[in-house]
Amino acid sequence: MRVKDFVLSGLFLFVALAFAACGEDKTAINTGWDSGALTVKDEVLLSGSNTQSLNIKATSKPTLTSDAEWLKIGEVKNLTTGIYTVELTAEPNVTGDTRTAKVTVVAGKETATITVTQVSGDLVEIRSIDPQGDLDPAGGTLTIKYVATGTPATNLPEWISVSGTRSLVDGELKLTYTPNNTGKEREGMIVLAVGKDGLANVTVRQPARTVAALSGRNAKQIAADMYAGVNIGNTMECPGKEGDWSMPVNEAYVAALAGMGFNAVRIPCAWDSHAADGVIDSAWLDRVDEVVGWVIGNGMYALLNIHWDGGWLENSLKEGYNAAVDAKQSSYWTQIAEKLGHYDQHLLFAAMNEPNVGDGAAKKKASIEAIMKYQKTMIDAVRATGGNNLDRVLVMQVPNTDIEIAAEGQYAMPADQVADRLMVEAHFYGPYNFNMMDKDESWGKYAWYWGKENFVEGSDRNSTWGDEAWVKEQFQTMKRLYVDKGIPGITGEYAVCAIRENDPGIDKDRWKASVRLWNKVVTMESKNAGMVPFFWEIGQDINRTNGSVLRSYQLDGVFEGAALGKYPF
């Protein structure tokens, strides 16, 4: 095995004893040079008597001569305009010693000299790295120049990728690396390998991208800073495996959310299905930490909860208080808060998702009392971990996240030992016949069109209740119950869930306009009432791979409403 050492300030080369699973370099070759001077490598390595192609940029066909008889120069061939190639081959070296030759390249009046070295096996030697030192926390490009006895395969960290072109003339590898939004320094090893023996490793380090520290703000100040929020729905909350219901989260998608105008992201999350004997899997905690870091690193707020998660908490509420469930709530929130306590007030915790209530007056009362106890348990567990968690804003859910149940008055926000750091959460999916109903019933029909301006004359698919005035009234109820008393809120989920555009006989344009208007009105009235809007998105409106918009009529309404809505604080 032949391995050459390479060291630069801030970059370290580690000698490896073995190499496996190098990815194939499928980088496209860039031949689009401008006309100009003779350009060619100044150094070539040959492994034994193996042939290597030499590429030359020149304004006329070049000629090549060697000062060594053992080096054979093939026919110069034209690849494309101004680009030529020639094969260099060495005779067998019976001594096994390294030897060199000088090749002179002449094209018109221009001359260049190449040093050709014959070695006994495969070899990669790194000549330079640009830039030197630590990588930019905000992301960027990295160029590695090398000489090798062949085209190296590359093995890269997941946050580093090969750029789209590779130079024909220079032995160089152009790489792109992503912003480091993990909240901590990271390092990765770049491996170049040729054949079985040629190997070079470079370890690069990238400091964490920093966002201006946030502390000392109360819940209203945090809420007022949230322009528009979005959910990463059906993803982290899948029991057992991220993305089973949609696709896993990636960094490009999170960055795209910030780019389109969201500055707050709700992360529904499962925990119980990632735990054994009450201990959350450390790999899962690391993964959640990574996603939270992407959100905050892109300048957004992150809202993390315990979601449905198989119903261990939410479904049990129908039967009232359970000490074992309460103990699990305390344990999980202690582990979550300790793991993520390094984040400042850009991270918020939400105690639950949609806490259920039992049927009948007695069970309903017992459910609501249990909800308040479990929420108090969560608050105490988080605060007990200290540090940033003493100042963190925590979000409590009204029963069923239902505004009408909240208005009945049985639910009361639990006490917190830290003043002005609580928010309240409700969800909004009404009117049901327009938003979620999927078939006609004896008591009514589902609706296609919402908002009088979108009604189709004579149609029995116009939404006959739950108009704009009703939406406003719903949110004003939350304002009266909580916001006017100093407790800001979030609308943790809202969206038009029933996708009807392919229904036979529907006016697609009127339906899309109805959806857009509904999102606009709900977003606007939510903000007007002091409730931060978090649009429910599950990969149908925003592409989970690259963050591109799939259904603009949904998002257009959200951002129209976000611009029109004004918080009352």
Residue 441 has pLDDT above 60, yes or no: yes
Angle between helices 468-481 and 508-528 (to 10 degrees): 20
- In DSSP terms, 480 is beta-bridged to none
- Sign of the dihedral through C-alpha 31, 37, 43, 45: positive
pLDDT tops 80 at residue 514: yes
Mean pLDDT of 130-143: 90
The pLDDT of residue 14 is above 50: no
Average pLDDT over residues 485-494: 98
The pLDDT value given to residue 42: 87
Band of residue 165 on the pLDDT scale cut at 50, 70, 90 = low
pLDDT at 127: 86
pLDDT score for 122 = 81
Q: Are 397 and 371 in contact (CB under 8 A)?
A: yes
Which has the minimum average pLDDT: 82-96, 392-406, 508-522, 529-543? 82-96
pLDDT, position 36: 55
Least confident of 27-36, 216-225, 286-295: 27-36
pLDDT digits (tens, 9 = 90+) for 239-253: 989 989 999 999 999
pLDDT attached to residue 149: 81
- Residues 300-345: pLDDT tens digits? 999 999 999 999 999 999 999 999 999 999 999 999 999 999 999 9
Instruction: Give the whole-angstrom CA distance, residue 205 versus residue 188.
Output: 7
Mean local confidence (pLDDT), 25-48: 64
Q: What is the pLDDT of residue 268?
A: 98
pLDDT of residue 143: 92
Tokens 């096996």 identify what position?
121
Euclidean distance between CA atoms 343 and 568, whole angstroms: 28
pLDDT at residue 197, rounded to an integer = 76
Taking residue 35's Cβ as centre, other Cβ atoms within 10 Å add up to: 9
pLDDT surpassing 90 at residue 107: yes
Q: Tell me what the mean pLDDT of segment 465-476 comes to.
A: 98
Structure tokens given for 152: 């190296």
Nearest to 174, CA basis, from 116, 131, 217, 238: 131
The CATH fold of domain 2-206: Immunoglobulin-like (2.60.40)
Residue 386 has a pLDDT of: 96
Task: State the pLDDT at residue 94.
Answer: 77
Read out DSSP for 338-407?
Answer: HHHTTS-TTEEEES-S-----SSHHHHHHHHHHHHHHHHHHHHHHHHT-GGGGT--EEEEPGGG-HHHHH
Per-residue pLDDT of 445-466, as tens digits, reads 999 999 999 999 999 999 999 9
pLDDT of residue 164: 60
Q: In the structure, what pLDDT confidence band is assigned to residue 167 with cuts at 50, 70 and 90?
A: low
As a whole-number percent, the residues of the chain with pLDDT over 90 amount to: 73
For the chain, what percentages of helix, strand and coil (3-state, to nearest 5) are there?
Answer: 25, 30, 45
pLDDT at 170: 57
Mean pLDDT of 200-209: 88
**Domain range summary for the chain, segments of one domain joined by +:** 2-206, 219-564
At 169, the pLDDT band (50, 70, 90 cuts) reads low
Question: Is a pLDDT exceeding 70 seen at residue 10?
Answer: no
**19-27: average pLDDT:** 35
Q: Give pLDDT, residue 29.
A: 40
For tokens 């306009």, the residue is: 513
CATH assignment of 219-564, among 3.40.50.300, 3.40.30.10, 3.20.20.80, 3.10.20.90:
3.20.20.80
Residue 335 phi, psi (nearest 5): -65, -40
pLDDT, residue 26, reads 36
Inform me whether the pLDDT recorded for 15 exceeds 70.
no
β-pairing, 99-107 vs 110-119, is antiparallel
For 4, what's the count of Cα atoms within 13 Å in the CB-facing half-sphere? 18
pLDDT (0 to 100) of residue 47: 83
pLDDT category of residue 1 using cuts at 50, 70 and 90: very low
pLDDT at 22: 34
CA 428-556-181 angle, to 5 degrees, is 85
- If you average pLDDT over every residue of the chain, what do you get? 90
